[in-house]
Amino acid sequence: MEMEMTPTPHNGARLGEIAKTVLMPGDPLRAKVIAETYLENPICFNTVRNMFGYTGTYHGKEISVMGSGMGMPSIGIYSYELFHFYDVDKIIRIGSAGGIQDDLRVMDVVVGLGACTDSNYAHQYQLPGTFAPIASYELVEKAVDVARRQGTPVHVGNILSSDVFYNEVSSEQWKKMGVLCVEMEAAALYMNAARAGKQALCLLTISDHLYRKESLSAKERQESFHSMMKIALEL
């Protein structure tokens, strides 16, 4: 009976405790900071594996925030369960990324229109070709509109979701193809959303640059992405 109320071994939430829209930072501590900073009356629904999740309200609208962990296998599990077992309709990844293009600067905000990847995540679908993971156009359009109204410049385009953080291969080839930045989760999220018939978007703040000595500390990554957060919360 308990398993029916908490339908997965990775999430302690009971059915009905998670909102239809979930914001997903990679770092569970960032989820805690977001909940305590932006949400009214946040209630913690998950502490399993310290992957904190909270539900509260923002301007009267119910919203949840939950960590995803690092990498596509991790967000693949959590987003799949949210879409399929908790009836979540929209997941907005809010994360950090390494800039590739020369016009990107630390703290710039990126809207991931599409997610290129070096991952084999799509293999499970047995597709007769290469799948192109893309965001929900509705969420992209809203994000750009919100950013304009808030006066926040954003870069919209392709991002790279990589399985490898300490990569021995240069990102120069991706740079030549106009890819804006590199992160580690969006492609799996976009594929899960496509398969489930749900909506997903990845918003990123540039935390460092692959070709310049610019970077944020771990504490700054955790606490200072306010421009991105204001866009995500208004969606």
Query: What residues are designated binding site?
Result: 10, 26, 30, 49, 93-96, 183-185, 207-208
Instruction: Summarize the annotated binding site for a purine D-ribonucleoside as residue ranges.
Output: 10, 183-185, 207-208
Task: Give the active site residue among 89, 118, 163, 208.
Answer: 208
Check if 208 is active-site: yes
Query: Phi then psi for 194, rounded to 5 degrees?
Result: -60, -45
Name the pairing type of β-strands 61-66 and 53-58: antiparallel
For residue 41, give the nearest of 28, 59, 27, 25 by alpha carbon.
59
Q: How many CB atoms lie within 10 A of CB 3?
A: 8
Single-letter code of the amino acid located at 63 = I
CA quadruple 68, 71, 74, 80: dihedral, nearest 10: 80
Catalytic (active-site) positions = 208
